[in-house]
């Protein structure tokens, strides 16, 4: 396992942060990749399917992320870029920005768990998930994933670090 720490300014577009973009570039070489929270990702053109709640985002789908993941066939993806809202507050902001109601179920831990379960189902054995967040939980061993690399991006001051976990499905 490789653990890297590199400093960068925070950015709403996680994949535009230089060390994170460089890490993704090392892994997203061909294959069928998807992104359930694509927004304005610089990698949208390299994914077979992209999704964002915002109708302003140029993506292939505009669904709730769980619905999008449930559309994907079993073991059909070579990789997933997983950059969900990092906190219940961020989930509520995203839903509000898309004109959707945000209920209690949407801000519980099951929000992330439900999506991780679907990702475990759709990624092929040997496939990769690149997960971003404020913790190193990734998709996890419960879904047959093993950590290959962790990138810690401290942003300084009172900003939370961004933790990127690269995992391979066993």
Residue 48's CATH number: 3.40.50.150
Taking only the tens place, the pLDDT of each residue in 66-115 is 999 999 999 999 999 999 998 888 888 887 888 888 888 777 888 889 99
Local confidence band at 62 (pLDDT 50, 70, 90 cut-offs): very high
Residue closest to 9 by CA, chosen among 122, 154, 108, 132: 154
Local confidence band at 152 (pLDDT 50, 70, 90 cut-offs): very high
Pairing state between β 162-169 and 49-50: unpaired
What's the total number of domains in the chain? Answer: 1
> Does residue 16 have a pLDDT over 90?
yes
Residue closest to 170 by CA, chosen among 135, 141, 150, 134: 141
pTM: 0.92
Structure tokens at 69: 């993941």
β strands within 47-144, DSSP E: 49-50, 77-82, 123-133
> Does residue 1 have a pLDDT over 80?
no
| DSSP conformational letter for 142 | G
Taking only the tens place, the pLDDT of each residue in 38-59 is 998 999 999 999 999 999 999 9
Amino acid 9: pLDDT = 78
What is the extent of the structural domain holding 123? 2-169
């Amino acid at each position: 396992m490789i653990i890297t720490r590199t400093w960068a300014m925070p950015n709403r577009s996680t994949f535009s942060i230089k060390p994170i973009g460089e890490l993704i570039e090392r892994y997203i070489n061909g294959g069928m990749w998807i992104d359930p929270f694509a927004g304005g990702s610089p990698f949208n053109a390299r994914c077979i399917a992209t999704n964002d709640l915002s109708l302003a985002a140029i993506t292939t789908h505009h669904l709730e992320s769980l619905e999008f993941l449930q559309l994907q066939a079993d073991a059909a993806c070579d990789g997933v870029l997983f950059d969900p809202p990092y906190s219940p507050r961020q989930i509520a902001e995203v839903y509000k920005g898309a004109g959707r109601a945000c209920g209690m179920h949407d801000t519980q831990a099951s929000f992330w768990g439900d999506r991780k379960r679907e990702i475990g189902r759709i990624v092929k054995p040997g496939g990769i998930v690149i997960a971003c967040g404020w913790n190193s939980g990734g998709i996890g061993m419960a879904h047959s994933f093993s950590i290959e690399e962790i990138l810690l991006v401290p942003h300084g001051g009172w900003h939370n670090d961004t933790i990127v976990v690269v995992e391979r499905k066993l």
